[in-house]
Structure 1
Amino acid sequence: PLLLDYFLITEFVIGGFDTVQRPLAVGVVLLIMYILVMTANFANIYFIILDKRLHQPMYLFICNLAFVDMLYCTSSCPTMIGVLVVGCKTISYVPCIFQMFVFHLCGIMETFAIAVMAFDRFIAIGSPLRYRSILTNFRCVLITVLLWMVACAVLSIIPVTILPLPLCQSTLKYVFCDYPAIVRASCVDPNPYFNTISVISFFIIFVTFGFICFSYLKIVIVVVKMSSMSDKKKVFNTCFSHLIVIVCYYAPRFILIVLTRIGVVLSLEERHGLVVGAILGPSLVNPFIYCLRTKEIRNKVSSDTKSYSI
């Protein structure tokens, strides 16, 4: 019977928004935010690729982060917008599995991208004279490719564990296809699967966050030894944008972890709100932070705007 149910379910119904009282209004807000995310991140990538002066390690890492943000939102937002605005609640099995894999892959890559940018700042401040010899453009691209490969290898556990599962429900209680949604739609006890993925998630989050903290601890040590206030101010300006990105990404995840650990039971609506905020918040803030805080990109935007106006 389980195998029969498994083969009968060829598509899912997204049921996470069934209790939303004004779905169209929520959908329009999500659509506007999604358009802003895509436009702002694409603009950052466009300006960096177009200007050869910006072909430097830090900007290559910014490009990678922008690409991850665009892919991260695209793996989830169109489905949510389709449900809320158009009323299209169904998604086929294969696209659902693909969406789930891409979503969690981008979640891992977001942590990797932020961590490697902390490493970039550490090298730039700790060894400024050797920075260009340590972090060449080729090495930055190589590091980025390796991180994508590692993320894909880690995520291989998802299709390995998900694909054999017999499915008993066609309605997903969540707002798009992710790992918990598919597991809860299966006929098995979800707890062992949740425990496995929780261990992996905690390991990735705390290892990358620990690496970021270690990098900034070394930066603080370097700054304390500086005698010039102007040099200290330059370091602060260099790191401030990245610190905002770190807070925007890790804050909602740590809040979710802490609430779960202390026994607070979140409703599905509260969980959905935190998840959507964790996706759209950093992806929307990141490009504007780097565009407004990074002098080279800001000058490029300003010069291009003036040329078009003329």
Structure 2
Amino acid sequence: MENKSLNVSFNLTLDPFVLLPGGKYPIFFLGLLIFLFCLFCNLTMLVLITVERNLHQPMYFILFSLPLNDLIGISALLPKVLSDIVTESSTVYYPLCVLQGFLLHMYGGGVLFILAAMAFDRYIAICKPLRYNTIMTPYTLIIIIALVWGLDFLLIISLFSIQVRLPRCQNSIPNVFCDNSSLLKLSCANTSINNIFGLFITAVMQFISVSVQMYSYIQILIACVVSRRSEAKSKAINTCIAQLVIFLMFETVGTFTILSYRFTNVSLNLQKITGMLIFIIPPVLNPIVYGLKTKEIRNTLIKVFKQKVSIM
């Protein structure tokens, strides 16, 4: 083990896409278009929530974390992958590989915790409307947002802390990007504890997120059934449907990604693409879903756009 460790370099080799001749530039420009579209949509959401006073509400302060988290996820992945495709390079510096893996895992955990926080906010707004302003105070908001990012950071940093201390005897990452499982394959030690701990952290994140969301939406559903006001029912459905769509989309893409690695007859290129989907599809679609399904965001965006057009 010690002799092998002496030959380990800080320059790691990634497993690149196998592309047809002349295929790298179309794929590069398609990926660049997706990345720029994601940047534009998510930055627009962040600017709208920051600038427009009518969006300075607890719901949108919590929502602010979602496009920010999406930008972290897709920015940690796509620029490096696209750069490697166009330059036909397949190397990465070990500390940067660890950083990429850390950010990608932070993104995944962040989605779950942010959606749980947003579901809790909707539960208070719909089930306890008269107490909403006394419960969702600025102090409460700070605690919720700090819990979302703090708990995500603590869980992921603990996962990577026990991983980076393992001795390495390999220099090859079996993927086009770095994540915890790929980094574990660099080790020449027993990684059983790391694998169990990784599954435990995943289970904790899923349990917290799903439990909070299930409780919130069940209470909201009960409130809708009990309420005789059709307007209240309509508002409840419209404010929750976007969050449910985003959660189901994230879980579906994540499940599809995991299953793709279990089938040996799936091509390596397809496995690599499906592995990237969870970091691409939600960041691209989340702002669109919220823009279409959230009336205040949609109306604010239309108002700002009309103002810009009238000035021109």
TM-score (norm 2): 0.90
Q: Deviations along 1:53-101, whole A, 9 cap, x unmatched?
A: 2111111111111100101111111111111223232211111111211
Distance in 1, matches of 2:193 and 2:263, equals 21
Deviation at 1:175, TM superposition (A): 1.5
Task: Tell whether 2:237 aligns with 1:236.
Answer: yes
CA contact (8 A) 1:6 1:167 kept: no
Q: Which moved more, 1:115-124 or 1:271-280?
A: 271-280
Equivalent in the alignment of 1:81: 82
Secondary structure of 1:72's counterpart equals: helix
Q: Which moved more, 1:283-292 or 1:2-11?
A: 2-11
CA contact (8 A) 1:16 1:172 kept: no
Q: Deviations along 1:19-65, whole A, 9 cap, x unmatched?
A: 34434333322221111111111100101111122111111111111
Equivalent in the alignment of 1:122: 123
Deviation at 1:2, TM superposition (A): 3.0
2:296 maps to amino acid: E
Distance in 1, matches of 2:155 and 2:9, equals 28
After superposition, the Cα gap between the structure-2 partners of 1:96 and 1:126, relative to the gap in structure 1 and judged at 3 Å, is: same
Equivalent in the alignment of 2:247: 246
Secondary structure of 1:169's counterpart equals: coil
CA contact (8 A) 1:2 1:187 kept: no
Equivalent in the alignment of 1:220: 221
CA contact (8 A) 2:104 2:279 kept: no
Equivalent in the alignment of 1:132: 133
Distance in 2, matches of 1:45 and 1:151, equals 21
Deviation at 1:126, TM superposition (A): 0.5
1:243 maps to amino acid: L
Equivalent in the alignment of 2:302: 302
Deviation at 1:266, TM superposition (A): 7.0
After superposition, the Cα gap between the structure-2 partners of 1:92 and 1:41, relative to the gap in structure 1 and judged at 3 Å, is: same
Secondary structure of 1:96's counterpart equals: helix
Secondary structure of 2:178's counterpart equals: coil
Q: Deviations along 1:150-176, whole A, 9 cap, x unmatched?
A: 112112223322222222222211121
TM-score (norm 1): 0.91
Equivalent in the alignment of 1:292: 292
After superposition, the Cα gap between the structure-2 partners of 1:305 and 1:7, relative to the gap in structure 1 and judged at 3 Å, is: same
Distance in 1, matches of 2:120 and 2:85, equals 40
Identity of aligned residues (%): 25
After superposition, the Cα gap between the structure-2 partners of 1:190 and 1:25, relative to the gap in structure 1 and judged at 3 Å, is: farther
Equivalent in the alignment of 2:159: 158
Deviation at 1:223, TM superposition (A): 0.7
Task: Tell whether 2:43 aligns with 1:52.
Answer: no
Distance in 1, matches of 2:230 and 2:121, equals 22
1:213 maps to amino acid: M
Distance in 2, matches of 1:200 and 1:106, equals 14
- Equivalent residues in 2 for 1:186-225 (5 A)? 186-225=187-226
After superposition, the Cα gap between the structure-2 partners of 1:219 and 1:266, relative to the gap in structure 1 and judged at 3 Å, is: farther
1:276 maps to amino acid: M
* Coordinate RMSD, CA, aligned: 2.2
Distance in 1, matches of 2:265 and 2:239, equals 38
Q: How many residues align?
A: 307
Equivalent in the alignment of 2:13: 13
CA contact (8 A) 2:172 2:186 kept: yes
- Equivalent residues in 2 for 1:19-34 (5 A)? 19-21=18-20, 22-34=23-35
1:145 maps to amino acid: A
Distance in 2, matches of 1:92 and 1:74, equals 17
Q: Which sections of structure 1, spanning at least 5 residues, go unmatched?
A: none
Equivalent in the alignment of 1:279: 279
Distance in 2, matches of 1:160 and 1:132, equals 40
Q: Which moved more, 1:68-77 or 1:149-158?
A: 149-158
